[in-house]
Amino acid sequence: MNAIVSVTQDWGIGKNNRLLVRNREDMLRFKQLTMGGTVVMGRKTFESFPAGPLKGRRNIVVTRDAHYADAHPGIECATSPMEALLLAKADSADKVWLIGGESLYRELLPYCERCLVTRNQVSVPADAYFPNLDEDSAWELECVEGSSQTPEGIPYDFATYRNLDQRDSY
């Protein structure tokens, strides 16, 4: 499994269940990478999608409500992060993507092989954060590519981090 996330300079990922930076290239990259695969997310992340389940992908939503899927066609529910991993095992590990939110990232990040991070060079108020991989000895920066800026002038790049201490999940 891999994780994919968009962060600000202080590793902020959201506020009021919304992304902090609108970045069209980040969205296109997210779609390209996850299309045809499985996305694992928390309930609040799922509810932030205006059109419901992400099309062209298997959607696994972690929620305590075992009947949540009854009201949301097109998703599968897992009542715990570990159950989500078990459900995702049916798919090739390189096609499974952890996409948020904060608590699910914190719990399942040790099971990810790589983390693809869009690093937006801006600081804005946030109420949800991603672990700072630059300060975590279990992770190393593997490569940086695609340095550019948004139409609003926010510089960004795409960084790939590799987990040096990955837990067995597959």
CA–CA separation, 76 vs 58, rounded Å? 8
What local confidence, expressed as pLDDT, does residue 169 receive? 56
Give the distance from CA 80 to its chain's centroid. Answer: 17
C-beta separation of 120 from 23 below 8 A: yes
Domains, the chain, ordered by start: 2-163 (3.40.430.10)
Stretches where the chain sits below pLDDT 50 are none
Residues composing the chain: 170
- Please give the model's pTM, rounded to 2 decimal places: 0.95
What local confidence, expressed as pLDDT, does residue 146 receive? 87
